[in-house]
A and B are shown apart, each in its own frame.
Chain A
């Protein structure tokens, strides 16, 4: 369910949301008071908000304001995730504290929560901290963890072994560095799709992994990771690979069969060697 929510959210926001723009928007109008007109506007955008009394609105607004979130951000969060108004201030504060423990810094955290209000549904502090520390161990800084979450918030709902599988693939086989990974939403792609797109590019001769001892400053001719992963099937095939869509679709089918056959073969071999 998480993933579906985020996908919808992302499609809505990806177009308009350039990070800088958002930051500018959030800081420009210094609104500190919640007016009736704001509430009306919000209800117009999200009818589910109509059931709450002005008292609830005021209480929630105050809670958020006390934690540094401005009225505009508050409105954006509430319209994105109306259920927040149901919660007691204590619960909201708890969630904010959990997020604060990830140490992204206040501004960045607010940007993240405004972009994806669903993230405020988190209740399990332990799980979140485990995830963020795991991501930090792979991506080296808290800022990178934040960037990754900005691009693919559905990481929250993925089990660690799946993330590990994708990260290992990108680091070891595609030989892509951290800065490029955090700029793309590759981690929200299922592992099979990521691998299929990569193998397709390799077989077309359009993607060559960097040599192990290559100079890191040397520019590559490969497509950027965000071009590979943040595109629809059709634009990936036609714009990036420059082949027709039927070709890519046939390839997907053939590759799936090929890999399945290969795994079956290795399994059979393993069994055989066990018997020996």
Chain B
């Protein structure tokens, strides 16, 4: 038992408590890593505008409410309207009227924008490589040695590549090798005499000599600059960019939002008479890719990376669909998707499951029902810029996932290329990511178009949506002036904190 006397004698512990600087110091976590990478990368891509996007990305995002057409639609609409929300359909009608009055004055004003992003990325790649070389050879400059120009680790690590890419890479690498060797022979005329193998002692040793291609202890090291190399600028496939002719807002779709600057929240969904939930809350920018896909009645549609299901649900809510195939790679993600559909679709078991709504679990690169879909939504896995900055779990900036992260553009291009093959000739797809990175956006589209042209002879046209995104400019902040080649992008902006969302519409040529 504790006596009072003992309490008096208890000594105070002076050294307890966390007061040392190394304890107090903030431990670097995955979100910090992501932020650091973005600061460097996007800081040089977007310049001064990055800091506004940064603040927006780190702050809560804004939702829109999609009314469920299988529930008490009118009641839900009036409830949302009472809270002050506005139907996007009416906003668009207003924008169209305004445009008709103001005549096509500011359309196509920046069709021929100079893509200075190309130069920026090139210099970024160069700088990053220099930094990495400097990190390995810290004293190189002081010693007066010329640092090796390029360490091409990708040659060794690109086993995951598809066969075709491997071949082309092999060619290019062998080309590089001969070039550099001849160059070296020309330049290094002064040969280090002490290292010459005298023929009189036999040249047998020379035949066994294998030049080093990796540094011991750094076999697993992956250079960040490898990621930027995916952004190519040379075009050797037919590239047509043409404005999209028409845009129709689906008649039955009701999406509610608050005006720019209003950060109010929506009420949580409630149960309707039919047993489904009244409305679905989703990031505002996610409604754009399925809207621009323009699903028409009687079409067969594929959502290549469907979970968690917001975009698929939106396409179902247009009531146009004939059949929707939802594909995703993981069982758990597919279960999530199934749950959402059960919650929102009336009579799910009898009318929807495996009749008009089909689930398939597979890697989108391995789907093989070629030439069979009218429309495809390709919402690829990406660095999900908002998620990686705010959440620790499932964060792709985890150090052990570095290879996966740097190879993301390869995966995306693989999926997109395969989806182009799945399209019927004349069908169209929308490629979308929630990343600001030009490598994962324009870079991937470029890679995929090149790949399908080289390997399968498929050509495609890119639809310029800028005329139609102008209708949404009251709600979203778009990338303006347009520094993008192939698509449109919603930028995070504090009063309208949607996105980031990049999307591009591609039509397969007949």
Given A203-B59, A204-B51, are A250 and B495 also a contact pair (CB < 8 Å)?
Answer: yes
Give CA–CA (A242, B261) in the complex, Å.
18
Contacts of A253 in B (CB 8 A): 263
B4 contacts the other chain (CB 8 A): no
The A interface, classified by DSSP as helix, strand, loop or mixed, is: helix
Shortest CB–CB separation between residue B375 and chain A, in angstroms?
A: 36
- Report chain A residues within 8 Å CB of B418: none
Instruction: Indicate whether A30 reaches chain B with its CB closer than 8 angstroms.
Output: no
The answer for the CA separation of A258 and B263 in the assembled complex, in Å, is: 12
Pairs A-B, 9 closest by C-beta atoms: A212-B21, A203-B55, A247-B494, A250-B495, A250-B494, A203-B58, A204-B51, A253-B263, A204-B55
Minimal Cβ-Cβ distance residue in A for B54: A205
Take A204-B51, A247-B493, A250-B495 as given contacts and tell me if A212 and B59 are in contact as well, using a CB distance cutoff of 8 Å. no
In the complex, which of the residues A242, A248, A251, A255 has the most CB atoms of chain B within 10 Å of its own CB atom?
Answer: A251
Nearest-neighbour CB distance to chain A for B152, whole angstroms, equals: 33
Cα–Cα distance between A257 and B58 once the two chains are bound (Å): 14
Whether A212 pairs with B52 at a CB distance below 8 angstroms is no
A243 within 8 A of B: yes
Q: Is the CB of A257 within 8 A of B51?
A: no
B52 lies within 8 A of A213 (CB): no
- Among B52, B55, B59, the residue within 8 A (CB) of A258 is B59
Which residues of the other chain, A, contact B493 by a CB distance below 8 angstroms?
247
Chain A, 239-263, CB within 8 A of any chain B CB:
242-243, 246-251, 253-255, 257-258
Q: Which residue of B lies closest to A211 (CB)?
A: B25
Q: Is the CB of A212 within 8 A of B494?
A: no
- Between-chain CB contacts (< 8 Å), 12 pairs: A205-B50, A206-B51, A212-B21, A243-B52, A243-B494, A247-B52, A247-B495, A248-B494, A251-B494, A253-B263, A254-B494, A257-B265
A251 to B24, CA, bound (A): 29
Q: Does A6 contact B (CB under 8 A)?
A: no
**A213–B59 touching, CB < 8 Å:** no
Cβ-neighbour of B263 out of A205, A213, A243, A254 (below 8 A): A254
Question: Size class of A's contact patch?
Answer: 20 to 34
Kindly state whether residue A169 has any CB partner on chain B within 8 Å.
no
Whether B39 contacts A205 by the Cβ 8 Å rule is yes
Interface residues of B in 332-351 (CB under 8 A from A): none
Q: Which residues in chain B, 17-74, are within 8 Å of chain A measured between CB atoms?
A: 21, 24-25, 39, 48, 50-52, 54-55, 58-60
| Interchain nearest-CB distance for B385 vs A (Å) | 14
B497 at the interface (CB under 8 A from A): yes
Contact of A212 among B24, B48, B495 (CB under 8 A): B24
* A104 CB–B CB distance under 8 Å: no
Q: Which residues of A contact B (CB under 8 A)?
A: 200, 203-206, 211-213, 242-243, 246-251, 253-255, 257-258
Q: Is the CB of A205 within 8 A of B51?
A: yes
- Return B49 CB to nearest CB of chain A, in Å: 10
Chain B interface residue count, Cβ-Cβ cutoff 8 angstroms: 20
Alpha-carbon separation in the docked complex, A168 to B358 (Å): 58
Give Cα A211–Cα B493 distance, bound, in whole angstroms.
Answer: 30
Known: A205-B39, A243-B52. Is A213-B494 also a contact (CB below 8 A)?
no
**Chain B, range 248-273, C-beta contacts under 8 Å to A:** 261, 263, 265
Question: A211 vs B263: C-alpha distance in the bound complex, in angstroms?
Answer: 35
Give the residues in chain A near B495, CB-CB below 8 Å.
246-247, 249-250
How far is it, in angstroms, between the C-alpha of A249 and the C-alpha of B495 when the chains are bound?
Answer: 8
Distance to closest chain B CB from A52 (angstroms): 54
Contacts A246-B261, A247-B495, A250-B494 given: A257-B52 contact, CB under 8 Å? no
In the complex, what distance in Å separates the CA atom of A235 from the CA atom of B52?
17
Bound-state CA distance A26–B51 (Å) is 47
Residues of the B chain whose Cβ atoms lie less than 8 Å from the Cβ of A242: 48, 51
Known: A200-B55, A253-B263. 13 other contacts (CB 8 A): A203-B55, A203-B58, A204-B52, A205-B51, A205-B54, A212-B21, A213-B21, A242-B51, A247-B52, A247-B55, A254-B60, A254-B494, A258-B60
- A243 and B50 CA atoms in complex are apart in Å by 11
**Which chain A residues border B497 with CB–CB below 8 Å?**
250, 254
Q: Considering the chains assembled together, what is the distance between the CA atoms of A128 and B51 in angstroms?
A: 44
Chain B 225-241 interface residues, beta-carbon cutoff 8 Å to A: none
Question: In the complex, what residues of A have CB within 8 A of residue B51's CB?
Answer: 204-206, 242-243
Q: Please report the C-alpha to C-alpha distance between residue A246 and residue B494 in the assembled complex, in whole angstroms.
A: 8
How far is the CB of B11 from the nearest CB of chain A, in Å? 25
**Minimum C-beta distance from A9 to chain B (A):** 35
CB distance from A261 to the nearest CB of B (A): 8
With both beta carbons as reference points, the residue of chain A lying nearest to B43 in the complex is identified as A205
Cβ contact within 8 Å between A212 and B25 = yes
Most buried by B among A203, A250, A255: A250
CA distance A250 to B60 in the complex (A): 11
Distance in angstroms from A36 CB to nearest chain B CB is 59
Smallest CB–CB gap between B37 and chain A, Å? 13
A250-B263 CB under 8 A given contacts A258-B59, A258-B60: yes
> Whole-angstrom distance between the alpha carbons of A253 and B62 in the complex?
12
- A251 to B52: give the CA distance in the assembly, Å: 11
Give the shortest distance, in Å, between A70 (CB) and chain B (any CB).
50
* Contact in complex: B59, A251 (CB < 8 Å): yes
Chain B residue with Cβ nearest A261: B60
CA distance A214 to B168 in the complex (A): 50
A255 near B59 with CB under 8 A, answer yes
Shortest Cβ gap from B279 to chain A (Å): 20
* CB nearest to A206 among chain B residues: B51
Contacts of B39 in A (CB 8 A): 205
Residue among A200, A211, A242, A254 having the largest count of chain B Cβ atoms under 10 Å: A254
Q: Please, how many angstroms separate the alpha-carbon atoms of A249 and B55 in the complex?
A: 13
- Smallest CB separation, A192 vs chain B (Å): 16
CA distance A248 to B60 in the complex (A): 14
In the bound assembly, the distance between CA atoms of A243 and B493 in angstroms comes to: 11
Q: Complex: how many Å from CA A250 to CA B265?
A: 13
Contacts of B494 in A (CB 8 A): 243, 246-248, 250-251, 254
- Shortest C-beta distance, B415 to chain A (Å), equals 33
Separation of A205 and B38 alpha carbons in the complex (Å): 11
Q: Shortest distance in angstroms between B469's beta carbon and chain A's nearest beta carbon?
A: 21
